[in-house]
Amino acid sequence: MKSKSSEHQLYSGPCQSEENMGHFLTAFQPIVDCQEKRIVGYEALVRGQNNEDADVVIASVKNDSRYAFDQMCRVRAIENASRLGLDLLLSINFLPNAIVHPEQCLQATLEVAGRFKFPTENIIFEFTEVEEIEDISGMLEIIRTYRDMGFKTAIDDFGSGYSGLGLLADLQTDIVKLDMSLIREIDKDAIRQCILKHSLSMMNELNIDVIAEGIESKEEMLWLQQAGIRFMQGFYFAEPEINRLPLVDSEVFI
């Protein structure tokens, strides 16, 4: 059975017409610091008009419109986050294969961030590992360009999809988000525990921050805390909410 936390992120996928591209909403899910017991940011998530998850929205998008859809998703995420008063990190997903000229594609992002006075250093761009990157050298250019312009970058879904370790060897981002497939019931799974411990040691040596995503139980959270992970995200803390910044009950950290 598909886990609730596997609902996917803000994707720049294929789209039909410019009118249809606008028929989606933005939900937000908190990213928490379990050490300081507070929210440090939110991830923007695509939702359909009737709360359909991102997979449904993406399925309606055509390949020749994916770049335009990517731009619309970025703009709407920043606009909505700003209107909701977000002054923390904002994480936005993108598909790197939709980007040809990284400096050009950032113009709309910079324009809307400037208009709403949203700090670019608070924006994280995540690229998902479930789609194979067609041009590694081009992806390196994207990461360098984004960093030079003040944005943070992250590998999403690390541990699933295409070439986890190979991708990390080619592309060193500021953040790696551990996929829920590595997290599920990790408190009971010695194999996953071993893999995760060695992965954390590697990330520490590479000076890469780690976020564990898809947390669904207190037991998972506690094990991850003991392993040294302080940043987490998942339904255990809060479900995504459309056009709202959900809070996290302090009791979940106890």
- pLDDT one digit per residue (tens) for the chain, 254 residues: 333 443 333 333 333 444 455 578 999 999 999 999 999 999 999 888 887 776 777 667 777 777 788 788 889 999 999 999 999 999 998 766 656 566 777 888 899 999 999 999 999 998 864 456 667 777 888 888 888 888 999 988 887 765 467 778 887 889 999 999 999 999 999 999 999 999 999 999 999 999 999 999 999 999 999 999 999 999 999 999 999 999 999 999 97
CA pair distance 148, 186, nearest whole angstrom? 37
Q: Provide the whole-model pTM.
A: 0.85
Cα dihedral 240, 80, 98, 18 sign: positive
For 97, residues 6+ apart whose C-beta sits below 8 A from its C-beta are 131, 133, 134, 135
CA pair distance 215, 237, nearest whole angstrom? 8
In the chain, count of helices (H) and strands (E)?
A: 10, 9
For 44, residues 6+ apart whose C-beta sits below 8 A from its C-beta are 9, 10, 26, 27, 28, 73, 77, 80, 81, 90, 91, 92, 93
DSSP state of 164: H
Q: Which CATH architecture has domain 4-181+210-216+229-245?
A: Alpha-Beta Barrel (3.20)
Identify the CA nearest to 126 among candidates 202, 45, 14.
45
For 145, residues 6+ apart whose C-beta sits below 8 A from its C-beta are 102, 103, 106
CA pair distance 75, 44, nearest whole angstrom? 11
CA pair distance 151, 149, nearest whole angstrom? 6
